[in-house]
Amino acid sequence: MRLIHRTSVCAVALAAMSFAATPAIEMSGNYVEARTADIYVGACFANSEVQLVGNLAVTGWQINKGTWRGVNLDGLSVVAAVHANSTLGDRTGEPYPVRALLIVDEKASLEQRMALRQFAQHMTGDLLQDIVRTEALPITFTILGDSIHERRVELAAGTLASIRTRAIESSDGHCGHEYTWYEPLAKTEHAMAAFSLEHRFNGSSTEDLRARWSSPDKSSAFVGTFRLAE
């Protein structure tokens, strides 16, 4: 019995040492996304778009402070563009397979670029599992407004992808029964639907995502914050 007891104690100690040796993840920052379908919308309008549009999206993260498994990512950004099989977030359809193009901050080192890729995949589940190409470009992520309710976001990844949002106004509604129809594509601490003044991806229509798009003037965005600690 004494031998079994010592073995158990050793196993627990080794497990604790292994857990302690795993670098921590502590990250926080800002998030934005825009799709080619309205997300703050009445049911009748959402049903008119489902499985017809909404299969294209751009997402972006600004890391204010963060360490990903020992790699410091303070002040860096990462952007993804996705081309799904059908409307993203549709509970009755099947968006997979999804092709993704990842844009990492050109200021990042090779180690940081790999960490940014892993972070973006972690935050989106299966959405970014098939990354067909990775680009390193200058990324700007600008936030205007004093509160998240007034927040306006301007995101640009070189000339390849861009989002520009404003808060949703009462005049943006069509039927008076609008609500947030879809959930954000990524994990967030807090997110609000927003209006897309600009939503653009200038990729090749024949390579990579096999799509390029411009989808402005829709209630098709989310702006928010994220916080991750593991």
- Closest Cα partner for 182 from 193, 169, 190, 198? 193
In a domain, 182, yes or no: yes
State the pLDDT at residue 150: 76
User: Does any domain span residue 133?
Assistant: yes
What percentage of the chain exceeds 90 in pLDDT?
67
> Per residue in 158-196, pLDDT tens?
999 999 999 998 777 666 677 788 999 999 999 999 999
Structural contact between residues 119 and 131, judged by C-beta atoms closer than 8 angstroms: no
In a domain, 155, yes or no: yes
In a domain, 93, yes or no: yes
Instruction: Fill in the amino acid letter for 218.
Output: K
Does residue 157 sit within a domain? Answer: yes
Indicate the number of domains in the chain. 1
- Residue 148 pLDDT: 66
Where does the chain have alpha helices with state H? 2-21, 43-49, 110-124
- Residue at token pair 């700007």: 140
Q: 197 or 177: which carries more pLDDT confidence? A: 197
CA gyration radius for the chain? 20
Domain limits for position 101: 23-229
CB-neighbour burial class of residue 137 (10 A; exposed 0-12, middle 13-18, buried 19+):
middle
Whether residue 15 is contained in a domain is answered as no
* Residue 94 pLDDT class (50, 70, 90 cuts): confident
Indicate whether 17 belongs to any domain: no
**pLDDT score for 119:** 98
Q: What is the mean pLDDT of the chain?
A: 88
- Residue 85 is given by DSSP the state S
The answer to whether residue 150 sits within a structural domain is yes
pLDDT at 21: 54
